[in-house]
Structure 1
Amino acid sequence: MSMHHPSVAALEKAMGDADQHDGPFRPGSLAELDEREAFPAAAIRALDDFGLARHYVPTRYGGLLDDHSELLQLLRAVARRDLTVAVAHAKTFLGGACAWVAGNTAQAAALGADIQRGAVAAWGLTERHHGSDLLAGELSATRAKSGAGAGAESGSGWVLDGEKWLINNATRGDLISVLARTDPAGGPRGFSLFLVDKRTLPEGSYSHRPKILTHGIRGADISGIAFHAAPVPDDALIGDIGDGIETVLKALQLTRTVAVGLSLGAADHALSLATGFAEGRNLYGRRLTDLPRVRRILGEISATIFLAEATAQVSARSPHALTAEMSVVSAVTKAAVPTLAQDAIDRLTELMGTRGFLSRTYAEGQYAKLERDHRIVAIFDGSTAVNRNALIDQFARLARAYRRGRWNETGLAEAVDTGQELTAFDPARQRLLSGDGCSLVQSLPDAAQKIAGLADRGLLPLQVSRMADELTTVADRLHEDMAALRRTPRDVPPTAFHLAERYELVYAGTAALRLWLHNAPVADAAAGPQLWRNGLWLAAALAAALTRLGVPVDASHAAAYDRVADRLLEAPTGTLSLLSTDSTDDLAWSTS
């Protein structure tokens, strides 16, 4: 059984081939660039040569993107090598996403062709004094007057004035999707989106702001751009006038979901390095990995990564299968996965001790670099707090839908069954708010019943069924608390964010349940990959979710961690994946 895409294996091979003869992905070379805060141009060229950018462009516009879970796994593969490289290259997908959501056919096809020829795109949303408050943006777009600007003869075109700041690839990018104020009064209908081609702008009509010195992803082009009466043609407008905020929110439903592949890759990398360290480190005459406490920790961390991986896998199929629910799915995923990955990295850092902080002493400083780099993932495309606030806005809807006990069964089956062919993504089906709630979470009681049936037939351990029931009990109470919450748009109590965090964990646990139910070879408990046999990874992931939800996990539950640790220490890469065919052949990559 494998959920891997052939393109991921091809990319791994291409990056490995590029590393021959001191290639661009060699850790020492990347560490040196990081110290100099230099852009990893050679590694980016290697990804260009592979054709990674073709996977940023939907197939209907000539590219290869027809499965967002495939793109997530491609970004995960790059992030396992180096997070700075992944962030720098993937920004082109973010820069083009608004065109895929709201651009007309000619506009999107032209952009798709440009990206596949090597054009780099950026996304200009944030401003120096307003951060994530997009409705406060000051950069303006006004109609060009006769005698000035693009299309001056007919008075057509627009003029951009203002600055966008803390923008990835603002300087190196060829194109930038810019959110601009088109109504001086602002408001939700006061902003529009423009795809600006910097290569066509007159000299002096724009200038770059200096690269910002950052704690992590030091080599990335995090800078800014200012427009000085910059003329752009009418066909630069993406969608209709006043649709800018809506288009951005719909594009974020895609980018937030795919971007968590960066967190999965960072967690893979961290676990591999820490496992290698623990296996080679002696303490009191024994290897660290011979100590029961260390093995338990490695099992717990692996289980945390399973939980994040299950969440990401189901969510990345949801743009196709549960399109109208993506306002919930994307917010939950972007808050949950980087949080779980950072928790795993933090615990691994404790295990590494001083080796986790030294720049060149262990593994050429790879661990210290990834630990710094990953912290940015939780911030971009909306911080964890911003995403939780977006979820809180839909609490009442989610509570009502859960009480009704209904869900989109067809769409959910497509999202969780990795053997099913995906429906083509249709942006016309996107909604700013989910009228159907969250099918995955609403199906939890049904999933728990199915797990109980398998346990009664001896096809799963009873402990897995007990944990599924415990998760359902938590979810029932959680939705009662969500329904009882009282708030105003400007007054969100701290308890609401706590409830949002709990909802993320319920979503993650349910994703694990559904992923196992729809993909495990349950007819024979001894069949299939070792991690899937007898619900091993599922038991560990549920234990990780319940622990975070404050539910005590007894010794029989925790024993799953130890069995997972055994599988981990057998794995040649020092990490595990639910998507692999076998625990001894989990990820085709190496950190050496």
Structure 2
Amino acid sequence: MITDRLAQLEKLLGDLHDPANPTGAAAVLAADERGEMLAAGETALHDYGLNAEFVPTALGGRLDDLEHLVEVMRSVYRRDPVLGLGYGVSSLISGVLLWTAASPAQAEAAATRLLDGERIAVAVHELAHGNDMTGMELAATLAADGWLINGRKEVVTNIQRAQAVVVFARTDEKPGPRSHTLLLVERAPGDQTTDLPRYATSGMRGLQLGGLQFDDTPAVALGPVGSGLEQALRALQVTRTVLPAMATGVLDTGLRLAITHLSQRRLYGGTAIELPHVRAVLGGVFADLLRAEAISAVGTRALHVVPGSAAVYSSAVKFAVSKLVLDAMDRLSELLGAHFYLREGPMALFQKLVRDLAPVGFGHIARAACQMSLLPQLPLLARRSWRTQADPTALFHGDLPELRFDRLALHAGGQDPVAASLASALQDNGLPHAVRAAAQADLAELTDLAEICARLPIAELGVDAPAHHYDLVPRYVRLLVRISCLQLWRHSDGGFLADPAWLHEPVEDVLLAELFSRHRDHCYFGLSGRSLV
């Protein structure tokens, strides 16, 4: 049971605010000041067997439900994003590449390695080329006894302490989509690689972000030669969805710290939290956290239910969630004033969270790259889905089918069941008047967007597309967020999420009552509302 696993993990990590806890805030901050990973945290995650969460059940692990994985990782991220990325996510990214591209024997060997507590790094990007994967220069050549890699990769997590590395390398000098291959490099003393110095960063100070110089380094291919770009683009849809979803745990802690501080701070004859502006900001941040987790939940479930559409939803989740959580933390920073950047005292953890959260906007894939990925798909989505009706209940509620990496597609083919579900939702006679009015306004917006996008000339949708074309992407993503909220409300099992107060125009008093109740009872602020240690 996921609830049992979460309780076990929270118990292992202990009370975040206990100064004597070796994995508490004081220890997290001390490790950050030293520029080190929290050793006690890694021990706790090893004892929990976190790597098993990244290995499919068919290979002996616990990965059968990505929603469960996200919730587990939120428990780590809400405490220390460095621990979440440094211990866990690096191996998750390499894992999904392996589960997508590797042969059965290679996948089984990788699963055994992870289940034994080892690490597998992933070296895809190069600083000179950013998100342009077809421009990556690190090259591999075929020799008599296998592939040999030459070149360098920079800013790779866990590169120095990984036992193996998945490498994205050029295997054909000719440009095009078949020019790169995924390769696996075994790391060992004398392995013909040289570790490069760590890049200094403002956040994620304890994360190992090194590089690697390859000099005729032996490697084996994962999948057919030339299939690297296709395999990577398919597999990374998973991580582009779940990584931003995990990061909402950071906002949970930031909001919790802000409430505690503002409840104690005296201003203008009372506590700061009594001020109307402060209360409005806190309610808005709470609503944005729920919105971020709503689009995350639907995007995550889509990987199971409609994997062929994940090429759209993964970019939409990254684009929406990163902005929601970053903007929300900025608003909390404004409320806290000078206290938000202090590196000592009861609010010291907040400034670390702000620094560590920043990569959610550009790490793995930048928001601008998400726009470039979504824009060319809008015309076909508009013509094939946005004027139709669908009722994909499994996207919003119930048990999930098996996660099939082989069914992820490079392009959604115009299939967008989330947007198409809006018209079906309006057939529900039980919608309250305010909810119906908001949904009708959204349908009118979707219809208008469909008319515009259906006429877009394909030749103008490349990387050099006009700015007003790129402006269509945020309009579409905002609609997806609102539709996701509506549908999760419609399919909720009761409790606070069954109250329409958290939807498009949140009711501040209801939101604040729920927020302060969860703070008092030490419950998670996101969709699950689960109890915390």
Q: Alpha-carbon deviation of 1:482? A: 2.1
1:30-429 to structure 2, matched below 5 A, reads 30-89=28-87, 90-144=89-143, 155-199=144-188, 203=190, 205-232=192-219, 236-363=220-347, 365-407=348-390, 409=391, 412-417=392-397, 420-429=398-407
Instruction: Call closer, same or farther: CA 1:374–1:515 in 2, change over 3 Å.
Output: same
Q: Distance in 2 between matches of 1:103 and 1:63?
A: 17
Q: Alpha-carbon deviation of 1:533? A: 4.4
Q: Alpha-carbon deviation of 1:576? A: 2.1
What amino acid sits opposite 1:62 in the alignment? G
What amino acid sits opposite 1:448 in the alignment? L
1:454 aligns with 2:453: no
Q: Number of residue pairs matched?
A: 528
Q: Distance in 2 between matches of 1:281 and 1:498?
A: 41
1:471 aligns with 2:442: yes
| Paired residues of 1:261 and 1:312 also in contact (CA < 8 A) | yes
Residue of structure 2 equivalent to 1:532: 497
Q: Alpha-carbon deviation of 1:229? A: 0.6
1:422-437 to structure 2, matched below 5 A, reads 422-437=400-415
Q: Alpha-carbon deviation of 1:118? A: 1.0
Q: Alpha-carbon deviation of 1:23? A: 3.6
The superposition leaves residues 375-428 of structure 1 with CA deviations (integer Å, 9 ceiling, x where unpaired) of 111211211111111111211111112345044x4xx321211xx221111222
The superposition leaves residues 438-496 of structure 1 with CA deviations (integer Å, 9 ceiling, x where unpaired) of 1101211222332xx113xxxx4x22221122222222222222223341424222123
1:561 aligns with 2:508: yes
Moved more, 505-514 or 469-478: 469-478
Instruction: Call closer, same or farther: CA 1:361–1:387 in 2, change over 3 Å.
Output: same
Q: Distance in 2 between matches of 1:424 and 1:575?
A: 28
| Paired residues of 1:62 and 1:109 also in contact (CA < 8 A) | no
Q: Distance in 2 between matches of 1:80 and 1:168?
A: 20
Tell me, what secondary structure is at the counterpart of 1:464? helix
The superposition leaves residues 497-547 of structure 1 with CA deviations (integer Å, 9 ceiling, x where unpaired) of 321112111111111111111224xxxxxxx42x2344222x3xx12xxxx
What amino acid sits opposite 1:342 in the alignment? L
Q: Distance in 2 between matches of 1:414 and 1:174?
A: 39
Q: Alpha-carbon deviation of 1:331? A: 0.7
What amino acid sits opposite 1:475 in the alignment? L
Q: Alpha-carbon deviation of 1:574? A: 7.5
Q: Distance in 1 between matches of 2:443 and 2:55?
A: 39
Instruction: Call closer, same or farther: CA 1:39–1:266 in 2, change over 3 Å.
Output: same
Q: Alpha-carbon deviation of 1:263? A: 2.1
Q: Distance in 2 between matches of 1:503 and 1:488?
A: 15
1:577 aligns with 2:533: no
Q: Distance in 2 between matches of 1:5 and 1:197?
A: 36
Q: Alpha-carbon deviation of 1:20? A: 7.6
Q: Distance in 2 between matches of 1:68 and 1:5?
A: 14
Point out where structure 1 has 5 or more consecutive residues left out of the alignment: 145-154, 521-527, 544-557, 581-585
1:497 aligns with 2:470: yes
Q: Alpha-carbon deviation of 1:21? A: 8.3
Residue of structure 2 equivalent to 1:552: none
In the alignment, which of 440, 444, 452 is matched to residue 418 of structure 2?
Answer: 440
Q: Alpha-carbon deviation of 1:18? A: 9.9
Q: Distance in 1 between matches of 2:436 and 2:271?
A: 36
Q: Alpha-carbon deviation of 1:128? A: 3.1
| Paired residues of 1:332 and 1:387 also in contact (CA < 8 A) | yes
RMSD across aligned C-alpha pairs, in angstroms? 1.9
Q: What's the TM-score, normalizing by structure 1? A: 0.86
What amino acid sits opposite 2:145 in the alignment? S
Q: Distance in 2 between matches of 1:532 and 1:437?
A: 28
Tell me, what secondary structure is at the counterpart of 2:360? coil
The superposition leaves residues 339-361 of structure 1 with CA deviations (integer Å, 9 ceiling, x where unpaired) of 11111111111111111111113
The superposition leaves residues 8-39 of structure 1 with CA deviations (integer Å, 9 ceiling, x where unpaired) of 22211221179988343221121122122122
Point out where structure 2 has 5 or more consecutive residues left out of the alignment: none
Q: What's the TM-score, normalizing by structure 2? A: 0.95
Residue of structure 2 equivalent to 1:149: none
What amino acid sits opposite 2:192 in the alignment? S
Q: Distance in 2 between matches of 1:482 and 1:362?
A: 50
Q: Distance in 2 between matches of 1:533 and 1:321?
A: 23
Give % identity. Answer: 31
Instruction: Call closer, same or farther: CA 1:18–1:216 in 2, change over 3 Å.
Output: closer
Instruction: Call closer, same or farther: CA 1:120–1:249 in 2, change over 3 Å.
Output: same
Q: Alpha-carbon deviation of 1:45? A: 2.0
Tell me, what secondary structure is at the counterpart of 2:203? coil
Tell me, what secondary structure is at the counterpart of 1:414? helix
Q: Alpha-carbon deviation of 1:247? A: 0.6
Q: Distance in 2 between matches of 1:123 and 1:82?
A: 21
Residue of structure 2 equivalent to 1:519: 492
Instruction: Call closer, same or farther: CA 1:444–1:307 in 2, change over 3 Å.
Output: same
What amino acid sits opposite 2:482 in the alignment? G
| Paired residues of 2:283 and 2:511 also in contact (CA < 8 A) | yes
| Paired residues of 1:179 and 1:244 also in contact (CA < 8 A) | yes
What amino acid sits opposite 2:117 in the alignment? G
Instruction: Call closer, same or farther: CA 1:536–1:437 in 2, change over 3 Å.
Output: same
Q: Distance in 2 between matches of 1:296 and 1:129?
A: 43
Instruction: Call closer, same or farther: CA 1:488–1:304 in 2, change over 3 Å.
Output: closer
Instruction: Call closer, same or farther: CA 1:196–1:386 in 2, change over 3 Å.
Output: same
Q: Distance in 1 between matches of 2:253 and 2:66?
A: 22
Tell me, what secondary structure is at the counterpart of 1:394? helix
What amino acid sits opposite 1:162 in the alignment? G
Instruction: Call closer, same or farther: CA 1:575–1:59 in 2, change over 3 Å.
Output: closer
| Paired residues of 1:83 and 1:262 also in contact (CA < 8 A) | no
What amino acid sits opposite 2:114 in the alignment? I
Q: Alpha-carbon deviation of 1:563? A: 1.4
